[in-house]
């Protein structure tokens, strides 16, 4: 079976249009007339991204929120969405959650497609946004001397999934994450690089480092976590938190609440330093398919 990384590397050779950004980002950025449009697409599959027994209304919310989070990392405002949906056991609940989420984020439904099939349920959403600042933030602008920031704690989704599986405790962080659209728009004029934490803070930090050709040195103890202290290492590697991870000049006055968790260096033995220890993207930094 082809790994996700190998598959994307093959796709990268096809993605020659400038809007694709070499598939080195979470969104396509395309100039049309006087507008800059941001396009992103995320999928979810039962047993991988959600538990088969979850409330379909929560699945709809999460599907919308994950795509809105990609727009947030580009400082974009939503224009609308296209839905791809495999019919399931309680489609009325999915539709109720979808309507609620789209209203919450101000993202109208523009179209899409539905299918009926056997096997694990799958669904996808394409979100279209409009840039509020140009140049649009990317993963690739971090510079030596910048500081590294995160907008809030990680590990909450990890604890939420465990609560959901146990049938007790607070599972909202996993079931209904929040996309930080307002924060992304406020940060867009200031950041040098930005992305949302979807696959784990350490893995996503390494991706910024690779794309920018720099080293991100992270102070593990400085990262805020929504988990017991003895599970800090797991929280730094867990996905689904959708905080914004960004780099900015060290003396910048931030327009939103964020915590400084490290610095950007010009060179080093690996793209990521965690408490001085060099780590690469193959060192179990977060979630990857395959």
Q: What is the pLDDT of residues 232-256, one digit of tens each?
A: 999 999 999 999 999 999 999 999 9
77 and 178 belong to one structural domain: no
Query: Closest Cα to residue 146, out of 250, 217, 224, 37?
Result: 250
What is the span of the domain harbouring residue 162?
A: 146-279
**Predicted pLDDT at 288:** 57
Which of 131, 166, 191 is the endpoint of a domain? 131
Angle 208-212-217 from CA coordinates, rounded to 5°:
60
Which of 67, 99, 131 is the endpoint of a domain? 131
**More confidently predicted of 15 and 290:** 15
Task: Give me the chain's average pLDDT, please.
Answer: 92
Mean pLDDT of 202-229: 97
**More confidently predicted of 174 and 19:** 174
**Predicted pLDDT at 290:** 43
Cβ atoms within 10 A of the Cβ of 107, count?
24
Task: For tokens 């224009």, name the residue.
Answer: 79
Bridge partners (DSSP) listed for residue 170: none
Residue 12 pLDDT > 80, yes or no? no
**Residue 273 contacts residue 219 (beta carbons within 8 Å):** no
Mean pLDDT of 272-285: 85
Q: Where are the alpha helices (DSSP H) in the chain?
A: 4-14, 56-72, 91-105, 156-166, 172-175, 181-187, 201-212, 232-235
Over residues 150-172, the pLDDT tens digits come to 999 999 999 999 999 999 999 99
CA distance 132 to 151: 19
Question: Per the domain annotation, does 286 fall within a domain?
Answer: no
Bridge partners (DSSP) listed for residue 217: 263, 273
Binned at pLDDT 50, 70 and 90, residue 224 comes out as very high
- Grouping H, G, I as helix, E, B as strand and the rest as coil, residue 280 is coil
Question: Per the domain annotation, does 141 fall within a domain?
Answer: no
120 and 244 belong to one structural domain: no
Over residues 48-58, the pLDDT tens digits come to 788 888 999 99
Residue 147 pLDDT > 50, yes or no? yes
Question: Per the domain annotation, does 17 fall within a domain?
Answer: yes
113 and 165 belong to one structural domain: no
Report the CATH number at residue 226: 3.90.650.10
* b/e burial code for range 47-85 (CB count within 10 A of at least 16 → b): eebbeeebbbbbbbbbbbbbbbbbbbbbbbbbbebbbbb
Residue 284 pLDDT > 90, yes or no? no
Question: Which two three-digit tokens encode residue 231?
Answer: 């599970």
How many domains would you assign to the chain?
2
**More confidently predicted of 290 and 24:** 24
- pTM for this structure? 0.93
**Predicted pLDDT at 20:** 62
Report the CATH number at residue 125: 3.30.1330.10
22 and 109 belong to one structural domain: yes
Cβ atoms within 10 A of the Cβ of 288, count?
15
């Amino acid at each position: 079976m082809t790994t996700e990384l190998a598959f994307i590397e093959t796709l990268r050779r096809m993605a020659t249009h400038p809007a694709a950004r070499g598939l080195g980002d979470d969104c396509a950025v395309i100039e049309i007339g006087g507008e800059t449009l941001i396009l992103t697409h995320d999928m979810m599959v039962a047993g991988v991204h959600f538990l088969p027994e979850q409330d379909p209304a929560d699945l709809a919310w999460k599907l919308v929120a994950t795509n809105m989070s990609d727009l947030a990392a580009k400082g974009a405002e939503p224009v609308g969405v296209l839905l791809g949906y495999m019919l399931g056991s309680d489609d009325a609940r999915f539709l109720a959650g979808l309507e609620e989420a789209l209203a919450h984020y101000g993202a109208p439904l523009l179209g899409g497609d539905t299918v009926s099939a056997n096997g694990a349920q799958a669904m996808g959403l394409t979100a279209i946004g409009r840039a509020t600042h140009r140049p649009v933030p990317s993963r690739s602008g971090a510079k030596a001397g910048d500081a590294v920031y995160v907008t809030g704690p990680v590990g909450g989704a990890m604890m939420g999934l465990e609560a959901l599986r146990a049938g007790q405790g607070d599972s909202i962080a996993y079931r209904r994450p929040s996309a930080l659209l307002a924060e992304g728009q406020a940060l867009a004029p200031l950041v040098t690089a930005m992305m949302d934490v979807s696959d784990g803070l350490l893995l996503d930090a390494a991706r910024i480092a690779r794309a920018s050709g720099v080293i991100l040195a992270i102070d593990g103890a400085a990262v805020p976590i929504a988990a017991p202290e003895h599970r800090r290492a797991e929280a730094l590697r867990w996905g689904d938190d959708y905080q914004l991870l960004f780099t900015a000049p060290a003396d910048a006055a931030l327009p939103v609440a964020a915590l400084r968790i490290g610095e950007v260096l010009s060179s080093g033995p690996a793209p990521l330093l965690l408490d001085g220890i060099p780590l690469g993207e193959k060192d179990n930094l977060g979630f990857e398919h395959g």
